[in-house]
Amino acid sequence: MGEMDLDLTGRLMADMDPQLLDFLRTKVNSFVKWDLVRFFHDNPHTADTVENIARYAGRSVSAIESGLVELAEDGVLNATQVGGMTIYSLASDHEVQQMLGEFVKASDERQFRVKAIYHIIRGMR
Amino acid sequence: MERVKTGIPGLDEMLKGGFLPETANLVEGAPGTGKSTLGMQFVYHGIVAYDEPGIILTFEEFPQQYYHDAASFGWDFRQLEREGKLRVVMTSPEVSKADLEQVGGRIEGLVQEIGARRILVDSLSHFERMTADPAKLRSTIFSFINALKREGLTAVLTRESAALLGESESADEEMAFLVDAYVLLRYVEMESAVRKALLVLKMRGSDHDKGIRQFEITSRGLEVRSPFEGREGIMSGSPRQMVDSFVQAFVRR
């Protein structure tokens, strides 16, 4: 990565809310996870298997499974065993829900979205 | 006898006051007849009129769709969720069945958390994808319904009917045995217009109106109106004037 690229990243991230930036860096660091957190934010009482969540999200199981697992490991989602099935649902932690709400609200603004997209693309390299 | 009022003008009158408490009540009809609206109205009315919190268990429609549809009737489901009086839960039949079978499951937790008394299950038809074996399906639905009753819930369960218009489809006898009340919604073609008809086919443990009533979905929700008069064959979708039937049956041509 060149010096100019680092400068641009630094400038893009400089005015982001530090908590949102941390949430983006550590929790929502892929487009699939972004889709998933948005889905759980919009449908907060969803509780289902990876197969059914894939169907709801219009994605394949292979596309979302690792995202669900990582979001559960990071405490954004809950993963529970019910009748031999792993069921994913939004974490009941109030702070997580609040941060998720703020992230989704912020991502409705174009400027934030552009910065977040840039950050995720950088992370994918 | 204590009743659980639906809050739907005309329907409570047909049900002699409302559904019986802790019962499973099936509402069957073709797509667009108003099954989900009836169920949402039942849950909403319980919350705002009787302070009876409710749960909507959806197996297909996204919760956002319910928020949107409810808003068109002036019912603010998002606000009711914020107030802890409503939960719109998206899940699948297999997960909800397994969840209700275990002690301390998610649905049981939600019932306790908000003190839910009413539930809309939309729709029971999705259980049919769990098995092709009718005996197993019946057993699965029976167990599911019993779990809802165990939680002290009065349930409205919707079920899709394949018949749209003019196709005569009789009620499902197997299903009729499993539920406490069976309400049929039908499209009816009459004088170059499509109307909607409602019939309370069965109500276990209570008398009910056996008439076939017209109903409409207004800006306030479902409203059950007067009975269809002087017509027969309403539930087949193609009613005839009774005088025409009389002529067909008795007048030699």
CATH architecture of B11-250: 3-Layer(aba) Sandwich (3.40)
State residue A21's pLDDT score.
87
- Please indicate if any CB of chain B lies within 8 Å of the CB of A42: yes
Written as one letter, the residue type at A84 is G
Instruction: Give me the helix-helix angle, A3-14 and A110-124, nearest 10°.
Output: 140
Residue-wise pLDDT for A42-54, tens only, equals 999 999 999 999 9
Class of domain A3-124: mainly alpha
Q: Is the pLDDT of residue A114 over 70?
A: yes
Q: How many other CB atoms are there within 10 angstroms of residue B8's CB atom?
A: 24
Taking the C-alpha atoms of residue B176 and residue A31, their distance in angstroms, rounded to an integer, is 47
Taking the C-alpha atoms of residue B52 and residue A9, their distance in angstroms, rounded to an integer, is 52
The ipTM is 0.77
CB contact under 8 A, B62 and A42: yes
Residue-wise pLDDT for A57-91, tens only, equals 899 999 999 999 999 999 999 999 999 999 999 99
Taking the C-alpha atoms of residue A82 and residue A49, their distance in angstroms, rounded to an integer, is 10
Taking the C-alpha atoms of residue B170 and residue B178, their distance in angstroms, rounded to an integer, is 16
Q: Are strands B118-122 and B154-160 parallel, antiparallel or unpaired?
A: parallel
Taking the C-alpha atoms of residue B64 and residue B61, their distance in angstroms, rounded to an integer, is 8
Say if residues B213 and B10 touch (Cβ distance below 8 Å): yes
Q: How many other CB atoms are there within 10 angstroms of residue A3's CB atom?
A: 7
Chosen from A39, A43, A50 to mutate, greatest number of chain B CBs within 10 A: A43
Say if residues B24 and B149 touch (Cβ distance below 8 Å): yes
pTM exceeds 0.90, yes or no: no
Chosen from A45, A77, A89, A104 to mutate, greatest number of chain B CBs within 10 A: A45
Q: Count of A–B CB contacts within 8 Å?
A: 60
Taking the C-alpha atoms of residue B189 and residue B191, their distance in angstroms, rounded to an integer, is 7
Residue-wise pLDDT for B105-149, tens only, equals 999 999 999 999 999 999 999 999 899 899 999 999 999 999 999
CB contact under 8 A, B102 and A47: no
CB contact under 8 A, A47 and B91: yes
Q: How many residues does chain B have?
A: 253
Measured between CB atoms, which of B62, B88, B98 is closest to A83? B98
Measured between CB atoms, which of A45, A84, A85 is closest to B88? A45
Taking the C-alpha atoms of residue B69 and residue B88, their distance in angstroms, rounded to an integer, is 13
Per-domain boundaries in chain A: 3-124
**Nearest chain B residue to A42, by CA:** B64
Measured between CB atoms, which of B64, B95, B101 is closest to A48? B95
CB contact under 8 A, A47 and B88: no
Measured between CB atoms, which of A42, A44, A49 is closest to B95? A49
**Nearest chain B residue to A53, by CA:** B91
